Amino acid sequence: MTINPSGWRPERALAANDENEGGGTFTGNRALMLEEKLIFEIGDSKSCGVDFDDVPEVASRLGGLERSAPIGLPGLSEPETVRHYTRLSRQNYAIDLGLFPLGSCTMKHNPRLNERMARLPGFADVHPLQPAETVQGAYELIHVLGQWLIKLTGMNSVAMSPKAGAHGELCGLLAIRSALEARGDARKVVLVPESAHGTNPATAAFCGYSVETIPATKAGRVDRAALEGRLAPDVAAVMITNPNTCGLFEREMVEICEAVHAAGALVYCDGANFNAIVGRVRPGDLGIDAMHINLHKTFSTPHGGGGPGAGPVVFSAALSPFAPLPFVEKTGDTYILVEEETADEDHSRSFGRMAAFHGQMGMFTRAASYMMSHGADGLRQVAEDAVLNANYILRQLEDVLDAPFGESGPCMHEALFSDEGLAEGLSTMDIAKGLIDEGFHPMTMYFPLVVHGAMLIEPTETESKASLDQFIGALRSVAERARAGDLSLKAAPFYAPRRRLDETAAARKPILTWRDATPAE
């Protein structure tokens, strides 16, 4: 290895790796990084981890439907099971371990105060079918949170039940579709700019619309002339991500909304990145008709691997009557759950329901706790610090990584780089793998598509300058190696539990079921 700008010693790790995938040790462990087999390989269905008395013989009452062969679950004891999952968890990266730079995901710290509030029995132990008078506090919390969202966005009403950002998009488009159908105007096309999040065209297609793409300008924003040129009586809606996935604020929203409305269409705003503008911009003032908010991004509730999320949607006055049921309302001192359409103009034409019940109480409690502990001025500072941190990363790294929109002015909450300037044979993928050896989860790669070999980095406001500097130092070191042509990067990661995997095969042909490979006796 000739090029070594950072003091990196690939030969040592290589040696350790090459002797044995686990590093040349008896166990396969590498120091305190413990190897772990599949649970089916550790235990088998013939043993049981618990000492049960023999089951007495009883007559079967299953009418001949009893299982004929064992189910095949591995029998492990409690400590074996605990160790298995704890070992696996150590092979993963988490926001509680370090900076998580995934762009467009807002992986920020989840304050422990929120967790404390969510565990209060009055919030944690309620059931959605409890009589209203026994859950007034929970209803009040949902109502207060909704009012904050309405206030912060300058919109007219809110639907709390959608379970994620993409589910919120569906909710918004269903309301738009109902509004258009109500005026007998079944339009068929949704326009989506190139700089939009991938869920936008997916949602529009799911709703039965045909999707047309609007190009981006060289500066990374919606090409307004192209958008306005396409507006016609067949266009139902425009979906715009703002701030967009190039990390830029769409500056011409007011003009765009006016043009879209003049053409009889509606504007959906993907507000997943609201954390960049909360307290500074009210989307309602820009003319937006519907927008989802990701509580798991802007308002710091945990991202669970597909677990309980919340993507409330705020609506303009024009769309409010079509919003989904149910919702919480305050009458006098009492909170009620409105489950049916009412004659009241605001709730007269609901398109239906997004979910069986009212949404994710645990997420609502955490988000409300986050908002109240920050206050209005604190939330404004969230946006300012998120933007400041992203710009710090952008400016600290633009001499070693190409920043395609570096000239377009400050970025918002995320910094975007391309693979231009990397040495022959080295790519964005190699930078990402090198970053794993430095102890960081990679940034978002190859997205947005408008930039070649994109690297999208979102530090969020919860990182200190010291942690930003450490991340910048790590990425700078990897980027310098990639510019200088250090081909050892092609074999990175050296220190991860696994090296390079066939990611395409893993995605296209995932093996999701364990089969016993040992031949039957």
Ligand X SMILES: *Cc1c(COP(=O)(O)O)cnc(C)c1O
By CB under 6 A, is residue 104 in contact with ligand X?
A: yes
Q: Can you tell me which of 84, 177, 197, 441 binds ligand X, judged by CB under 6 A?
A: 197
β partners of residue 416: 456
CB of 475 to ligand X, least distance (A): 21
413 forms part of the interface with ligand X (CB under 6 A): no
- Tell the smallest beta-carbon distance from residue 280 to ligand X (Å): 18
Find the shortest distance in angstroms from Cβ 168 to ligand X: 8
Contact 411, 248 (CB under 8 A): yes
The yes or no reply on residue 164 touching ligand X (CB under 6 A) is: yes
CB of 111 to ligand X, least distance (A): 19
Q: Retrieve residue 426's tokens.
A: 């080295």
Q: Are 148 and 368 in contact (CB under 8 A)?
A: yes
Least distance from ligand X to the Cβ atom of residue 165, Å:
2
* Tokens of residue 104, six digits: 């467009």
Are 223 and 215 in contact by the 8 Å Cβ rule? The answer is: yes
User: Does 312 participate in binding ligand X (rule CB under 6 A)?
Assistant: no
CB of 415 to ligand X, least distance (A): 15
Looking at 74, 146, 162, 165, which residue binds ligand X (CB under 6 A)?
Answer: 165
Give the residues across from 455 on adjacent strands.
Answer: 417, 445
Q: How far is the CB of 299 from ligand X (least distance, A)?
A: 12
Contacts of 458 (CB under 8 A, 6+ apart): 101, 102, 103, 104, 105, 106, 107, 247, 390, 413, 414, 415, 444
Q: What single-letter amino acid sits at 427?
A: S
Which of 153, 178, 273, 488 is the binder for ligand X (CB under 6 A)? 273
User: Toward ligand X, which CB reaches closer, 393 or 456?
Assistant: 456
Q: Applying CB under 6 A, does 270 fall inside the site for ligand X?
A: yes
> Segment contacting ligand X (CB under 6 A): 8-16, 160-168, 353-361, 489-497?
160-168
Q: Do you find a cis peptide bond into 70, omega within 30 degrees of 0?
A: no
C-alpha to C-alpha distance for 214 and 40, rounded to whole angstroms: 50
194: contact with ligand X by CB under 6 A: no
At position 424, the amino acid (one-letter code) is E
Question: Closest distance between ligand X and the C-beta of residue 455, in Å?
Answer: 16
Minimum CB separation of residue 294 from ligand X in Å reads 5
Of the two residues 13 and 443, which places its CB atom closer to ligand X in the complex? 443
Residue with tokens 């970025």: 411
Residue 204, amino acid = A
Interface mask toward ligand X for 324-363; x: CB under 6 A: ----------------------------------------
CB atoms within 10 A of CB 278: 25
Residue nearest to ligand X (CB): 165
Would you count residue 108 as binding ligand X (CB under 6 A)? no
**Judged by CB under 6 A, which of 114, 161, 199, 316 binds ligand X?**
199
Instruction: Identify the residue whose tokens are 């591995």.
Output: 74
Name the residue nearer to ligand X (CB basis): 17 or 360.
Answer: 360
* C-alpha distances out from residue 255 to 13, 179, 209, 261, Å: 56, 22, 24, 10
Which residue, 87 or 251, has its beta carbon nearer to ligand X? 251
Which residues in the 280-309 window bind ligand X by CB under 6 A? 294, 309
Least distance to ligand X, CB of residue 136, Å: 29
Q: Which is nearer to ligand X, 248 or 400 (CB)?
A: 248
- Stated as kind and residue range, the H or E segment containing 336 is strand 334-338
Among 142, 166, 180, 277, binds ligand X (CB under 6 A): 166
Tell me if 194 sits within 8 A of 309, measured CB to CB. no
- How many residues of this chain bind ligand X (CB under 6 A)? 13
Name the burial class of residue 101, with classes exposed (0-12), middle (13-18) and buried (19+) by CB atoms within 10 angstroms of its CB: buried
Token pair for 397: 């790294």
The mark string for 230-249 relative to ligand X (x by CB under 6 A, - otherwise) is: -----------x--------
444 near ligand X, judged by CB under 6 A: no
**Can residue 161 be called a binding residue for ligand X (CB under 6 A)?**
no
DSSP string covering 275-334? GGTTTT--HHHHT-SEEE--TTTTT-----TT-S----EEE-TTTGGGPPB-EEEEETTE
State in angstroms the smallest separation of the CB of 241 from ligand X: 5
Residue 464 CA to residue 97 CA, distance in Å, equals: 14
Contacts with ligand X by CB under 6 A lie at 104, 164-166, 197, 199, 241, 270, 272-273, 294, 309, 311
